Amino acid sequence: MVKRIQLITIISICLTVFSVQGFGQNNDVNPNMVGINTIVIDPGHGGKDPGCHGVNTNEKAVALAIGLKLGEYIKKQFPKVNVIYTRSTDVFIELDERAQIANRNHADLFICIHANSAAPEAYGVETYVLGLHRTEAQQKVAERENSTIYLEDDNGEKYKNFDISPDAIIARQLQLNIFLDQSINFADNIQKYFNQLGRHDRGVKQAGFLVLYKTTMPSVLIETGFLTNVQEERFLKDPEQQAKMANAIFKAFVDFKSQIEGVNYQAQIQSDNKPVIEEKTLDSNAIYFKVQIETSSSAVSLTDPRFKNNLVSEYQQDKLYKYTVGNYKNDYSAANDLKNKMRKEGFNFAFVVAFQGSERISLEKAIKLATK
C-alpha cells in the first residue's frame, strides 16, 4: 500500500512540476481549431471502480447520470456535433483508454465528470485543468482520482514509463500551449453557470490528473460536489438536480462553441422549448448576403448588449472586427429587407455585405453571380 501511495504522489508531482499546460502523448494535434465538431464526455470511474461514496450513492452513478444528460442536451441542440461517451453504462474503463478515445476520435473538447470527497463540512463545485497544484487539498484530489490505475489489469505498471523528461515536457508545452486558455475559459464558464444555480463556487483549479495529461485538446475535469457532505449527496442523487448540473455544463459548452466558431448560439437557446439549432455549412461557390451592423477596432463579445440580443457573427477585414446578422444564400432581396428592419431597430448604418463562400466580395458582383 505504501508503494502505491508513493507512485501516485510521484505521478502527481511529475505532472505538475511545470505551469499549467496541456501535454498529452498523441502527436496528432490540430492547434488551429475552427469548430467544435466532436466532443468526448467522460463519466468518471465505473464498474469495479465506484469512486468515492456518500451514504446512499457513489461517484460512478452521479458522474454517469450527469454525463448522459449533458450528451442528450448537446445532441438535441447540435445534431451535427459528434458526441462520444467513454462509457454509457456501468463499466470500468482504464484511465489511459479514456484519453485515447478522445485522441483517436480527434475530439475538439474533453469533459471529465466526477464527484468529490473530503471532510463532512466540505461543499461546493470546482473545475480543474492540468497544471501545478497550489494546495495540499488540490494534490489530494488528483491523487484520489489517479488511484484508479491500481484497479487496472497491470496494477498501474504502464504509467511508470511516461516520458516526462524536461525536453519532452517543453516540447509538449510548445505544441499544446494553445489549448491552455481555451481550457481555462471553458472551466470559468462552467463555474459561472454552477454559481447561477446557487452552488458554492470553489473556483477553477490546477492539478496533475492522468486523464487530462494524456488528452490532446482543451480538457477539463469537473468535481460536481462532495458526496461526503449530506446535503450535497442529497442534491447530487436527485435526477432533477442532476439535470440542472448537466444543463449548466451545457450552457458553458454553448458559450465555448460560440466563441470558437464566432456564432452566437446562446441567443438561439433561451429555453428547452426552442427548436433545434440548424447549423449551416457554407458552400464555397455560393453567394451569401448578410447585414453588417457594427465595426470595431477590437473584438466585441457576441452577446454584448449593443447587439440587442440579435444572433451576430464576426469576421475580420483590414485589421477591423466586423459584425453581421442574417445569412441568405443567393437572396439579396431578403438581406435588404433585413437591413431595413435592423435600421428600424436602431442600427442606423446597417448595410448589406456579400460573400462568396467565406470571402468578402463586392455587392455588385455578388448580385450578378446570384442571379445567374
By DSSP bridging, strand 201-207 and strand 125-130 are parallel
Distance CA 176, CA 168 (A): 12
Distance CA 358, CA 185 (A): 27
The predicted pLDDT at position 196 comes to: 84
Distance CA 201, CA 286 (A): 47
The predicted pLDDT at position 284 comes to: 66
The predicted pLDDT at position 210 comes to: 74
CATH number of the 287-370 domain: 3.30.70.1070
Which grid coordinates belong to 302?
457576441
Closest CA to 79 of 277, 281, 354: 277
Mark out the alpha helices in the chain (DSSP H runs).
Answer: 2-15, 59-77, 95-104, 136-146, 166-176, 178-196, 210-213, 230-237, 239-261, 332-344, 363-370
Distance CA 315, CA 182 (A): 20
- Which residues of the chain carry a pLDDT beneath 70? 1-34, 131-177, 208-209, 268-284, 303, 309, 311
DSSP class per residue in 70-112: HHHHHHHH-TTSEEEES-SSS----HHHHHHHHHHTT-SEEEE
Domain with CATH 3.30.70.1070 in the chain: 287-370
The predicted pLDDT at position 220 comes to: 94
The predicted pLDDT at position 264 comes to: 84
pTM of the model: 0.61
The predicted pLDDT at position 312 comes to: 79
The full 3-state SS of 271-282, as one line of letters, equals CCCCCCCCCCCC
Q: Could you give the 3-state DSSP secondary structure of residue 61? A: helix
Domain with CATH 3.40.630.40 in the chain: 2-261
The predicted pLDDT at position 3 comes to: 39
Which CATH number is correct for 2-261, 3.20.20.80, 1.10.3720.10, 3.40.630.40, 3.40.50.620? 3.40.630.40
The predicted pLDDT at position 41 comes to: 97
Distance CA 2, CA 280 (A): 56
Integer distance in angstroms from the first to the last C-alpha of the chain?
76
